[in-house]
Amino acid sequence: MTDQITRTETGLVVSSARDKTITVIIERTIKHPLYKKILRRSTKLHAHDQDNQCEEGDLVTIKECKPLSKTKSWNLVSIDKKGQKIN
């Protein structure tokens, strides 16, 4: 029996315009291997929001799941903090 570990990420909702889909941006910092400078990197992920409860600016936790569409393979777990709309 294989023990699968599901990945979870925390990020900020930047778009909730589509039906049952949110776009979450996840920011991380890395150190350049040669120059040792701290760099900020970000990734945009599409997640499934079954009840359309998220809005722009919310801090959410998402987890990886089987692919639901061409670009969507994450599910909404919880809304950690309601936020204000991003302009």
Tens of pLDDT, residues 24-42: 999 999 999 999 999 999 9
Q: Are 39 and 29 in contact (CB under 8 A)?
A: yes
Q: Residue 76 pairs with which residues in a beta bridge?
A: 62
For tokens 């499934």, the residue is 48
Quickly state the pLDDT bin for 57 (edges 50, 70, 90). very high
Statement: residue 2 has pLDDT above 70: no
Q: Which domains does the chain have, with CATH numbers?
A: 8-81 (2.40.50.140)
Q: Are 74 and 47 in contact (CB under 8 A)?
A: yes
Q: What is the pLDDT of residue 55?
A: 94
Higher pLDDT, 64 or 83: 64
Statement: residue 3 has pLDDT above 70: no
